[in-house]
Structure 1
């Protein structure tokens, strides 16, 4: 899941504004589901991944599948 969200973020950065807005709308609904199914990682600041990406600061229960 995290890698897929990384890819989506990169795509969002490169799209023209109209396409970006449309995709961002769809991604936002998926993000909401991910937020509901995960917990904040209290040790995220100590991990090696990028702390600026909110989905990298979440804990999952045994897997990354949605």
Structure 2
């Protein structure tokens, strides 16, 4: 999930405005579901990967909450 969300973020940054709007709406829906199924990671700031990305600060209980 996390790698896929990284890729989606990059795609969103590169899309033209007309395509960006539609994909961003769909991604927001999926993001909301991911937040519902995961918990905040209290140690996210101390991890090696980019903790500034909100989806990297979530815990999926040993799975990637797909």
Structure 2 contact 34–65 (Cα < 8 Å) conserved: no
2: distance between equivalents of 1:2 and 1:34? Answer: 10
1: distance between equivalents of 2:56 and 2:36? Answer: 15
Match of 2:22 in 1: 22
Structure 2 contact 38–60 (Cα < 8 Å) conserved: yes
TM-score (normalizing by structure 2)? 0.95
- How many residues are aligned here? 66
2: distance between equivalents of 1:33 and 1:65? Answer: 9
After TM superposition, which residue ranges in structure 1, 4 or more long, deviate above 4 angstroms?
Answer: none
**Alpha-carbon spacing, 1:37–1:65, altered in 2? closer, same or farther (3 Å):** closer
**Alpha-carbon spacing, 1:35–1:65, altered in 2? closer, same or farther (3 Å):** closer
1: distance between equivalents of 2:21 and 2:9? Answer: 12
TM-score (normalizing by structure 1)? 0.95
Structure 2 contact 2–55 (Cα < 8 Å) conserved: yes
Deviations 1:7-57 (A, max 9, x none): 000000000011111100000000000000000000000001112110000
